[in-house]
Amino acid sequence: MGKKVLVVGQGGREHALVWKLALSPEIDKIYAAPGNPGIAELAECVEIGVDEVYKLARFAEEKGIDLTVVGPEAPLMAGIVDIFSEKGLLIFGPASEAARLEGSKVFTKNLLEKYGIPTAAYKTFADADEALNFARKFTEKGQKVVIKADGLAAGKGVVVAESLEEASEAIENIMRKKTLGEAGNQVVIEEFLSGEEVSVFALSDGKDFVVLAAAQDHKQVFDGDKGPNTGGMGAYINPPLYDEVLAEKVKDRIIAPVIEAMRKEGVPYTGVLYAGLMVEDGDPKVLEFNVRFGDPEAQVILPMIKGDIFPLFFKIAEGTLGDFKVEMEEGSCVCVVLASGGYPGSYEKGKTITGIDKLNPDTMIFHAGTALKEGKLVTNGGRVLNVVCRGKDIKESVDKVYKEVEKISFEGMHYRRDIGYKALLREGLN
């Protein structure tokens, strides 16, 4: 009998997950909670929020769901995997204890140190004065220093301080004024790493793992990496920086030892391991881990996985990955995010979106902040749409995607015009 799958989430990442799962011949029904209008073309959307973990479990039980796939981190931290597992429901993602790899920077840094996994030199503090004294050791030498709130802070928990004053302000805000709430009870103070960032995505069943691919995100809102940080304005797969030599180092020095460390600690890691790395002189160091696919990185990785993804996700959830092999498509894939005017600050919603019907048939469009109003597609969030194109190389996919982007419009729409520029520079193509 065909399988039933539930996807939890409502962004571009979850649309890409649903799109990829919908290609599986093994699946005959996909539900999404809560989903979005793009997802609704492929799945039945149900009005349950991502944080309503008990409701989601009841829904999965009632519908006889064979596998639940969780997109965002919040339900993972809230223990969705623990609750589903107690009920004997199969679910793809880490249990809440293992999700601390994203949820607690103190936990992660201590784990990395204990197992000798490369990361920036650091100390952790629960006392603001002691934290500042340690930060001073860096600024005295004219070095930058990085202050990180321990807990989840929606991208606002990391401050790169250029001076003691900046470090002091960050520590004051995080630890005394508690601008990030409980997330600021402890901080990590660490050395500043220079180099180029890359994100590597692996899947593990707790014991074995597969590395899918690397991608590069574009966090700042404006071209040339200027302006405030966003959730991500675009991404591309296979950054040239991530060659075979680096891939081997990442696997041997980071991914394999972390999976092994988590197992030894009694918190086996299952699901997506997203390693945020800094690479300098060919050597990778861990900046952070996330316990889910990146958004928009998922939108360029999922379309490049060869074949049916359902058996892979199923084996990961079941703990039977073994030596299962995953192959990736040749070539390149690029995603450009179309955002609302004002994003990442405040923005208006409800702007009519036009032009999607004019896209080439091989262009993928993944919805994020959209809604249907009187039968018309309108904006409903900061990041609105993801336009994704494949090509034989980065240049071809970038050229394609920008031609497609021009066909779409809504009032206030803005996007970065330089997605993939680092790769093009490296390859001498821009």
Closest of 137, 141, 151, 145 to residue 184, by C-alpha: 151
Per the CB < 8 A criterion, the answer to whether 128 and 152 are in contact is no
Among 66, 217, 404, 418, indicate the residue that binds ligand GLY (CB under 6 A). Answer: 217
| Residues in 176-195 at the binding interface with ligand AMP, rule: CB under 6 A | 190, 192-193
Residue among 52 and 297 whose Cβ is closer to ligand GLY = 297
Type of residue at 250:
V
Among 9, 71, 232, 239, binds ligand GLY (CB under 6 A): 232
154 interacts with ligand AMP by CB under 6 A: no
- CB count, 10 Å around CB of 356? 16
Between 368 and 378, CB nearer to ligand GLY: 368
Binding-site member from 97, 205, 288, 418 for ligand AMP (CB under 6 A): 288
Site string for ligand GLY, 349-388 (x = CB under 6 A): ----------------------------------------
Binding positions for ligand AMP, 193-212, rule CB under 6 A? 193, 197
User: What's the rounded Cα separation, in Å, for the pair 135 and 189?
Assistant: 7
> For ligand AMP, which is the closer residue by CB, 43 or 198?
198
Structure tokens at 15: 């649309």
Residue 294 lies near ligand GLY (rule: CB under 6 A): yes
The item of ligand GLY, ligand AMP, none sharing an interface with residue 68, based on CB under 5 to 8 Å by kind, is none
Single out the residue of 108, 139, 290, 340 in contact with ligand GLY (rule: CB under 6 A): 290
91 forms part of the interface with ligand AMP (CB under 6 A) = no
Please state the closest distance from residue 297 (CB atom) to ligand GLY, in A. Answer: 6
Contact between 72 and ligand GLY (CB under 6 A)? no
If we measure between CA atoms, which residue out of 13, 182, 36, 193 comes closest to residue 93? 13
Q: Which of 23, 121, 126, 160: binder of ligand AMP (CB under 6 A)?
A: 160
Report the run of H or E that residue 42 belongs to, with start and end. none
Residue number with CB closer to ligand GLY (232 or 344):
232
Q: Which is nearer to ligand AMP, 288 or 418 (CB)?
A: 288
DSSP calls for 200-256? EEEEEESS-EEEEEEEEE--EEETTTEEEE-S-SEEEES-TTS-HHHHHHIIIIIIH
- Taking the C-alpha atoms of residue 409 and residue 348, their distance in angstroms, rounded to an integer, is 15
Assess 288 for contact with ligand GLY (CB under 6 A): no
Which range of residues in 34-42, 294-302, 315-323, 374-382 is near ligand GLY by CB under 6 A?
294-302
Query: Using an 8 Å Cβ cutoff, are 430 and 401 in contact?
Result: no
Q: Give yes or no for residue 14 binding ligand GLY (CB under 6 A).
A: no
Residue 276 contacts ligand AMP per CB under 6 A = yes
120 binds ligand AMP (CB under 6 A): yes
Q: Which two tokens stand for residue 245?
A: 């030599």
> Is residue 166 part of the contact set for ligand AMP (CB under 6 A)?
no
CA angle 44, 386, 378 (to 5 degrees): 65
Q: Residue 106 binds which one of ligand GLY, ligand AMP, none, with CB within 5 to 8 A depending on kind?
A: none
Could you list the beta-strand ranges (E) of 59-185: 67-70, 91-92, 122-125, 145-149, 158-161
217, interface contact from ligand GLY, ligand AMP, none, CB < 5-8 Å by kind: ligand GLY
DSSP 245-292: HHHHHIIIIIIHHHHHHHHHTT---EEEEEEEEEEETTEEEEEEEESS
Q: How far is Cα 415 from Cα 227, in angstroms, rounded to an integer? A: 13
Q: Which two tokens stand for residue 326?
A: 């995953």
Write out the residues near ligand GLY by the rule CB under 6 A.
217, 231-232, 290, 294-295, 297
List residues near ligand AMP by CB under 6 A.
Answer: 120, 146, 148, 158, 160, 190, 192-193, 197, 276, 287-288
